[in-house]
Amino acid sequence: MGTSHRKSALIAALLSAVLFGFSTPLAKLLLEHISEGALAGLFYLGAALGLAPFVIKRGELHLPRDKKSRRYLAGAALFGGMLGPVLLLAGLALSAATSVSMLLNLETVATAILGVLFFREHLGRWTWVANAGVATAGVLLSFEHGRPSLLGGALVAAAGLAWALDNQFTSLIDGISPIASTFWKGLIAGSVNFGLACLFGAPFLGAASLPLLAIGGALAVGALSFGASITLYITSAQGLGASRAQMVFASAPFFGVLGSILFVGEHFSLMQGAAALILSMSLALFFFDAHEHEHEHEETEHNHAHTHGGPGDDNHHDHPHDTPPGPGEKHAHPHRHAPALHTHAHWPDLHHRHPHKPKTGG
């Protein structure tokens, strides 16, 4: 992967973390007016509404054409769009916002373990050390404002597992752009969750009339913290691999802490400062885990952003064009990769999900 693409993917993951981190304290405030299921639905409907103009303008109102990618999209909608947010909000209703923000770091560890066990990702020693640091920081901050209830903590942990599955599924979707993928996930999951909330319970709390301000706020949070954030995350995951993108995204809880201070009135402490230092050092280890060895690429056809030549070229795109793009010009379209056997330094990404020999180091 080229240096330019790697830097862009890292920036995308960080921006995604900022936007998602602020959603936790804002959701805590919105739960005073909207039930968990209805709020989860509004968040993802907001994501779909925010992305709809871009999807329509780019002519991407279509699902992936291959069955495998459609199954990945369905899995992402089920685990990431339906189950994950409902579990998170249910846990948030029982726990402090800061504790929930930090417990979400379990998603990082779950993403890495699932990637190794089921999705052909390779993690070297530094990434495992970094994951241990992320988990440690999460544990420290989980108890800062009182231990979450057993049920609340279990619900947040289950949400982390659901989003870990979502992370792996979304990084494998081909044939549509990250924006289109997020739009479809938001539309499907948001409609189902909001519809179920209205069918089986009272979606709005408090006043008899619909709290229009709270609904507008929920849609706005969804557009930014779920629509824009998820799109940025998918872009990063396709460039870095889900596990490594998740390592950068693990900074989201600290933005959640900042949001809790600004919006909920919680206070920053020495324990939070120590955990922030541990997490920062852990994320730095992420940069040490590129590896080099002879590896084989299977024949594949997919669609993602790439360049031909220039500083961002990853040397995997030599297919022809009717109208060739300029050197380093980023573009996306369906393209085919022929089988290849070669050696170069790399991280796991869309082109590097090959098996590794047991003795391969990180």
Backbone angles phi, psi at 303, to 5 degrees: -135, 115
257: tokens are 């802490």
- Taking residues 245-256, report their average pLDDT: 77
Between helices 229-240 and 178-200, what is the axis angle to 10°? 130
Helix, coil or strand: residue 121 = coil
* Residue 76: per-residue pLDDT: 92
pLDDT of 362 over the 50 cut? no
Report how far residue 332's alpha carbon sits from residue 326's, in angstroms, rounded to the nearest whole number.
13
Query: Contact at 8 Å (CB) between 331 and 306?
Result: yes
Which residues, at least 6 apart from 330, have a Cβ–Cβ distance to it below 8 Å?
305, 306, 307, 312
Q: Among 252, 263, 200, 205, which Cα is nearest to 226's?
A: 252
* DSSP string for 284-319: HHGGG--EEEEEEEPPEEEEEEE-SSSTT--S----
- Give the pairing type, strands 340-346 and 291-297: antiparallel
Report how far residue 284's alpha carbon sits from residue 261's, in angstroms, rounded to the nearest whole number.
26
Q: Among 98, 139, 94, 86, which Cα is nearest to 256's?
A: 98
- Taking residues 309-325, report their average pLDDT: 62
pLDDT digits over 166-219, tens only?
888 887 887 788 888 889 999 999 999 999 998 887 787 765 455 788 899 999
Give the residue, 28 or 95, on which the prediction is more confident.
28
108: tokens are 């990082």
66: tokens are 């291959």
- Taking residues 341-362, report their average pLDDT: 54
pLDDT of 325 over the 80 cut? no
Give the residue, 249 or 307, on which the prediction is more confident.
249
pLDDT of 264 over the 60 cut? yes
Query: Contact at 8 Å (CB) between 84 and 163?
Result: yes
pLDDT of 338 over the 90 cut? no
pLDDT digits over 172-183, tens only?
887 788 888 889
pLDDT of 293 over the 70 cut? no
Report how far residue 255's alpha carbon sits from residue 251's, in angstroms, rounded to the nearest whole number.
7
pLDDT of 361 over the 50 cut? no
Tell me what percent of the chain is helix, strand and coil, each rounded to the nearest 5.
65, 10, 30
- Taking residues 303-307, report their average pLDDT: 61
Query: Contact at 8 Å (CB) between 66 and 303?
Result: no
253: tokens are 């809880």
Identity of the amino acid at 281: M
pLDDT digits over 103-151, tens only?
776 776 677 677 666 666 666 677 778 777 877 776 676 555 555 556 8
- Give the pairing type, strands 300-306 and 331-337: antiparallel
